Structure 1
Amino acid sequence: MSNALPSTVLERLLHGARYEVLPTATIAEKVLTHVPRTTTVTVTASPSKPLSTTLDMAEQFAAEGFDVVPHIAARMVSGRTELSEIVDRLRAAGITKVFVPAGDAADAAGDYTGAIDLLTDLHALDHPFTHIGITGYPESHPSIDDDVTIQSMWDKRKYATHVISNMTFDAEAVGKWSERMRRRGIALPIVVGVPGPVDPTKLLGMATKIGVGDSVRFLRKQRGVFARLAAPGFTSDRFVTRIAALAATPQLAIEGLHIYTFNQVEAIEAWRQKMIAEAQRR
């Protein structure tokens, strides 16, 4: 076990937390108003919008001084030519971090049916990325077996620098999953996906802002989130504190927090500052 106190680790994790936002019409102004420039902002990719929507917003945040991580959904990229253009565009914007999921598009736009396909081509290109995130599932993927998701991380490990977990509510599951990764020989540091303390009723409002087709997908994908955010005993405060306790064990290599904001960035930032202040008093 590390000698680092969980409160010290908690403060470090909170200071370095990433905020995930959806590229809606109003989110840029909210981020610029409420989120410190020292905070990393990740911008999702939606199959109902062109990938340029994500790239446009990433460029805007980068120009404002944010460390930004655009999601490059593999199934939305047609092939190496388009990927090369994306790389050049992000290089020009000074963006050095990306997250590469397969994406939710039902049909692939071209050559890439999964993240490994895009990552292989990205590796062959001259790119500026020092931080390349891939997906991980501490709690089982709804349609993919755990053995397959672990194998997928193994296959992608040489092309990536970090594993970014999907949203999870179970710290014990995170610990077991991290240990399993290490036993499998996957040494990439982990950034744990954390649900921010959002108002579930506002998630419905978010769904109406991201387009009719996308809102259906959003609600279907997040239907479990509503119940689990409201479940007795669950709070983001308690969950993040338990993740900090896990992160105090160096062998697990839990490096950071990826906070799903659902675009409620003002409330999330107020919560984060409260948590930092409480950790400093411990």
Structure 2
Amino acid sequence: MSGESFRALLDGVRYEVLPAKATEDKVLTHVPRDITVTVTASPVKGLEPTLDLTARLAAHGYRVVPHVPARLVRDDAHLKDVVDRLRGAGVDDVFVPAGDADPPAGPYDGALPMLRRLGELGSPFAQLGITGYPESHPLIHDDLTVQAMWDKRTHATYIVSNLCFDPRLLGDWVGRVRRRGVTLPLRVGVAGPVQRAKLLSMAAKIGVGESTRFLTKHASWFLRFAAPGGYSPDRLLARSAGALTAPSAGVAGLHVFTFNQIAETERWRRALLDRSGG
């Protein structure tokens, strides 16, 4: 990948973090204020940790994008409260996945009904992100994930792809999205420079139930991290450069899954920029 291509992808970078005890300090210490931070939500811990960390980071001057999984919203009053709290914190961009809570906490069993309800509430957020799946979802057939993305496109302003480790699949997915007529900007989800031992440790800290669910759904991830040579985000980006940087791809930047290895992720980004002359 050329230096210019690297810089184009890194210019729109976002860091996804988990709302753990040390996350705020890690972000303050290592993440420049011009990098957008997205905050995940857990079906085990609920929305409160996400909303709290979002407000704190926003107060520190970061642009913060909270994840608000539809299946964690208890009812209409809860949704309105979430909207009010986020707007009060200055948040104008929200990522709305379906979420993994089973059963759902309330009436929203997927992202689309909640996206529609947000529209009925006056579209309180200028930006709304939805999920795309380059690799197969562990619970949903590929045809359904593509159809769901099509159905949600009129309610959203961009798409974030879930993790993908195969450059060919990633490039094919971008092409499929565009051939389908979906024109929303894409933010390509990639794992940062994750060390397998630290990833396993972080999964354990999330909580027993959450860890079991995470490991069961994503066992193939760990096999890839443990493979000879390990996982390299540089290698993934280099091999998918043509597909991701083509003007027709409409890729707005990278969505980096840090797994709270925030210092390591930022060192990696700066090293890439140095190598590319940025």
Distance in 1, Cα, partners of 2:35 & 2:99: 24
Displacement over 4 Å in runs of 4+: none
Give 1:171's match in structure 2, choosing from 167, 173, 177.
Answer: 167
Distance in 2, Cα, partners of 1:260 & 1:56: 20
C-alpha displacement at 1:126, in angstroms? 2.5
Distance in 2, Cα, partners of 1:222 & 1:270: 26
Give 1:82's match in structure 2, choosing from 78, 85, 99.
Answer: 78
In the alignment, what sits opposite 2:66?
70
TM-score by length of 2: 0.95
Where 2:252 maps in the other structure, the secondary structure is strand
Q: Is the 8 A contact 2:19 2:50 kept in 1?
A: yes
**Paired amino acid for 1:35:** V
Stretches of structure 1 that go unaligned for 5 or more consecutive residues are: none
Seen in structure 2, the aligned counterparts of structure 1 residues 105 and 173 have a Cα distance that, compared at 3 Å, is same
After superposition, residues 119-158 of structure 1 pair within 5 angstroms as 119-158=115-154
After superposition, residues 105-120 of structure 1 pair within 5 angstroms as 105-120=101-116
Q: Deviations over 1:184-236 (max 9, x none)?
A: 11111111110111110011211232222222223323322221123346411
Stretches of structure 2 that go unaligned for 5 or more consecutive residues are: none
C-alpha displacement at 1:175, in angstroms? 1.4
In the alignment, what sits opposite 1:219?
215
Where 2:135 maps in the other structure, the secondary structure is coil
- 2:7 corresponds to 1:11: yes
- 2:273 corresponds to 1:276: yes
In the alignment, what sits opposite 1:209?
205
Where 2:176 maps in the other structure, the secondary structure is helix
**Paired amino acid for 1:18:** R
**Paired amino acid for 1:274:** A
**Paired amino acid for 2:52:** D
Where 2:210 maps in the other structure, the secondary structure is helix
C-alpha displacement at 1:9, in angstroms? 2.6
TM-score by length of 1: 0.93
Seen in structure 2, the aligned counterparts of structure 1 residues 106 and 256 have a Cα distance that, compared at 3 Å, is same
Give 2:245's match in structure 1, choosing from 240, 244, 248.
Answer: 248
C-alpha displacement at 1:252, in angstroms? 1.4
**Paired amino acid for 1:235:** S
- 2:225 corresponds to 1:264: no
- 2:30 corresponds to 1:37: no
Distance in 1, Cα, partners of 2:101 & 2:62: 28
Identity %: 52
Distance in 1, Cα, partners of 2:195 & 2:180: 38
Q: Deviations over 1:3-24 (max 9, x none)?
A: xx84213112213211111111
Distance in 2, Cα, partners of 1:22 & 1:105: 17
Distance in 2, Cα, partners of 1:38 & 1:168: 26
Q: Is the 8 A contact 2:187 2:251 kept in 1?
A: yes
CA RMSD of aligned residues (A): 1.6
- 2:237 corresponds to 1:237: no
**Paired amino acid for 1:161:** T
Matched residue count: 277
Where 1:167 maps in the other structure, the secondary structure is coil
Give 1:228's match in structure 2, choosing from 224, 244, 247.
Answer: 224
Where 2:149 maps in the other structure, the secondary structure is helix
In the alignment, what sits opposite 2:55?
59
In the alignment, what sits opposite 1:27?
23
**Paired amino acid for 1:209:** K
Q: Is the 8 A contact 1:6 1:245 kept in 2?
A: no
In the alignment, what sits opposite 2:96?
100
Distance in 1, Cα, partners of 2:11 & 2:82: 30
